[in-house]
């Protein structure tokens, strides 16, 4: 979804298939809750109690860690978002995407973010409006010029190509169209010494693929276990229907038409989005996607749904460290489908304090 509501997550994605189209539609819907299956030991580790006092790093000095944060510009101005990012101790900063068709050569946030020692994780989209889906590139030379200028101004640590490219709400082109755009942006980024990644497969796409991997491998008990921990209630309901396995396979076919080509297109990382609360399911999915794509897995969007439990945050951060993920950006915004780390007055919630304490304790 675009950042008008949020730039990234796909909600707890109900899956449908349209016989008129070869595309799989992962539609956003709200669910009453997500399964919360966390090990007690993980939930009680570092910073799980939250509410503590945090000490931000000095201005202008980038912390040495793999963590970042997204704070919505709708919630806080750039000065407050920078202050909060520094208070949390993160290295990476995600904001609104750069929209190529309406790029005017101006980056209002660049100087402030760069002066604070933060590094952009920058999403680049081929659409003129945050609320509109991107399509195939119509003017390749104009697209290249604008993307080159964007990269030169933002100087991001990582260029992200589109957002949730596996859903037509954000990308309406074909798989080939997307791979072509990914290849183009990666080439421009690499010319500048910048790494690149795909837009972020929705967590529903990620979990369907991981589930089906177990099924295809004949590991049916593992598939059943994962379905209870990684699939949301909407997915579980569809899986239990008479056409459940067919639905799962259709999603898998669509996702495979994208992710199996990312490495050849020049991507440096495999980018996934994640909202389920179970840290074990997250680790299983990351390990599978590394095996599937041959790329290190990152996430420019991890968050909580229907919860501000600090223990759940700490469990997920422990998993990220154990997996040695190069980049992990936490989505912090109250937007109906997610719960942030910060109150409207700019104070850290208990989950925000747990996040900040953990990040600072894992910074070089």
Instruction: Identify the band that residue 60 occupies on the pLDDT scale cut at 50, 70 and 90.
Output: low
Q: Give the model's confidence band at 9: pLDDT under 50 very low, under 70 low, under 90 confident, else very high.
A: very low
Q: DSSP secondary-structure letter at 285? A: H
Over pLDDT 90: what percentage of the chain?
Answer: 80
Residue ranges of E strands in the chain: 14-17, 24-27, 67-71, 92-94, 98-99, 119-125, 158-161, 195-198, 270-274, 297-302, 328-332
Whether 9 is in a domain gets the answer: no
Full domain range(s) for residue 266: 14-361
Domain assignment present for 4? no
CA end-to-end span of the chain: 34
CA diameter of the chain: 58
| Total number of domains constituting the chain | 1
Predicted local confidence at residue 66, as pLDDT: 97
Q: In whole numbers, what is the pLDDT of the chain averaged over residues?
A: 87
130 inside domain: yes
Q: What pLDDT band is residue 364 in, cutting at 50, 70 and 90?
A: confident
Query: Has residue 244 been placed in a domain?
Result: yes
Q: Is residue 183 part of a domain?
A: yes
Contact in structure between 6 and 333 (CB atoms under 8 Å): yes
- Answer whether residue 51 shows pLDDT above 70: no
| Phi and psi angles of residue 351, each rounded to the nearest 5 degrees, phi first | -70, -30
Cβ atoms of 198 and 182 closer than 8 Å: yes
pLDDT tens digits, one per residue of 339-357:
999 999 999 999 999 999 9
Contacts 24+ apart (CB under 8 A), 22-27: 22/254, 23/168, 23/254, 24/166, 24/250, 24/251, 24/253, 24/254, 24/255, 25/167, 25/168, 26/166, 26/167, 26/202, 26/204, 26/205, 26/251, 27/167, 27/169
Among the listed residues 227, 194, 224, the one whose alpha carbon sits nearest the alpha carbon of residue 208: 227
- CATH number at 253 reads 3.20.20.80
**Token pair recorded at residue 98:** 């750069």
Mean pLDDT of 114-140: 97
Residue 47 belongs to a domain: yes
In the predicted model, is pLDDT for residue 175 greater than 80?
A: yes
H and E: helices and strands count for the chain: 12, 11
Q: Is residue 8 part of a domain?
A: no
Contact (CB, 8 A) for 22 and 5: no
Alpha-carbon gap, residue 93 to 98, rounded angstroms: 14
pLDDT band at 288 (very low <50, low <70, confident <90, very high): very high
35-49, 154-168, 271-285 — which is least confidently predicted?
Answer: 35-49
Looking only at the bridges linking them, the beta strands covering 119-125 and 98-99 are parallel
Tell me, what's the pLDDT at 35? 33
Instruction: Please determine, for residue 243, whether its predicted confidence score (pLDDT) is greater than 50.
Output: yes
pLDDT (0 to 100) of residue 170: 97
Q: Is 287 left (phi over 0), alpha (psi -120 to 50) or beta?
A: alpha
pLDDT reported for residue 31:
36
Whether residue 5 lies inside any domain: the answer is: no
- Decide if pLDDT at 56 tops 90: no
């Amino acid at each position: 979804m675009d950042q008008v509501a949020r730039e990234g997550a796909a909600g707890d994605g109900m899956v449908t298939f349209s016989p008129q189209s070869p595309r799989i539609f992962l539609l956003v819907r709200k669910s009453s809750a997500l399964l919360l299956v966390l090990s007690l030991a993980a939930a009680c580790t570092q910073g799980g109690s939250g509410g503590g006092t945090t000490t931000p790093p000095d201005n202008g000095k980038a912390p040495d860690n793999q963590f970042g944060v997204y704070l919505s510009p709708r919630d806080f101005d750039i000065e407050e978002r920078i202050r909060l990012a520094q208070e949390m101790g993160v290295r990476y900063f995600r904001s609104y995407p750069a929209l190529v068709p309406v790029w005017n050569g101006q980056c209002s946030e660049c100087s402030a973010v760069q002066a604070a020692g933060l590094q952009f994780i920058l999403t680049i989209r081929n659409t003129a409006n945050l609320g509109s889906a991107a399509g195939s590139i119509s003017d390749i030379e104009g697209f290249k010029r604008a993307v080159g200028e964007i990269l030169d101004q933002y100087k991001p640590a990582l260029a992200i190509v589109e957002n949730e490219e596996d859903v037509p709400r954000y990308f309406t082109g074909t798989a080939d169209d997307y791979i072509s755009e990914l290849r183009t942006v990666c080439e421009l980024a690499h010319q500048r010494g910048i790494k690149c990644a795909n837009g972020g497969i929705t967590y529903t796409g990620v979990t369907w693929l991981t589930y089906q991997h177990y099924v295809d491998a004949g590991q049916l008990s593992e598939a059943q276990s994962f379905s209870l921990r990684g699939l949301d209630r909407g997915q579980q309901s569809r899986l239990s229907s008479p056409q459940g396995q067919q639905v799962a396979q259709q999603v898998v076919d669509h996702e495979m038409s994208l992710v199996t080509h990312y490495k050849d297109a020049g991507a440096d990382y495999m980018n996934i989005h994640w909202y389920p609360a179970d840290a074990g399911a997250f680790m299983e999915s990351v390990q599978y996607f590394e095996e599937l794509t041959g790329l290190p897995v990152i996430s420019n969007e991890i968050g909580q749904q229907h919860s501000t439990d600090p223990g759940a945050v700490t469990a997920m951060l422990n998993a990220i460290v154990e997996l040695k993920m190069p980049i992990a950006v936490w989505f912090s915004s109250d937007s109906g489908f997610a719960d942030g780390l910060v109150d409207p007055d700019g104070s850290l919630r208990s989950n925000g304090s747990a996040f900040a304490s953990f990040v600072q304790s894992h910074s070089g």
